[in-house]
Amino acid sequence: MRAEMQRLTRLLLTIVPALTLLLACGDAGAAGDNNAASSPVTSTATAVASPVAVAVVTPSPAAAPVVVPPVPPAVTPPADPYAAAKAAGASAVCADGTWSFSQHRSGTCSSHGGVHWWTGNLGAAGPGAH
């Protein structure tokens, strides 16, 4: 921050006297004969009015900010919620949390509140109809 302030101060100390000299001379550089032998003031005023000085004094317009939309997180398929029951050979997980090892879907978990989840060991995996 301090280095930026020093740089700005040096820039202002260079530009302000040059602009003051240019304003004091008025149009003397444009109206007079533009040879180097005419006067030192005219040649100095001509040197100050260079495109570089104008570029430093004239600010450029700010560019519009670029807005980048956020990237949505990658969607991963949910893990098998009852992988342990499937690995143990259960055919279903009942509504009360017990595992059923039925050989047929009919009547599975009938005394345990119905089937909460089919493990896939006995047909397609997925939610039960309880």
Measured distance CA(44)–CA(20) in Å, rounded: 12
30 or 109: which leads in pLDDT: 109
pLDDT of 55-64, one tens digit each?
A: 455 555 677 7
DSSP 8-state assignment for residue 115: E
pLDDT of residue 70 exceeding 90, the answer is no
Measured distance CA(26)–CA(30) in Å, rounded: 9
User: What 3-state DSSP class applies to 92?
Assistant: strand
Question: Region 79-92: what's the mean pLDDT?
Answer: 89
pLDDT of 3-19, one tens digit each?
A: 887 887 887 778 877 77
- Token pair, residue 5, equals 């302030």
- Supply the pLDDT for residue 94: 95
Measured distance CA(45)–CA(110) in Å, rounded: 102
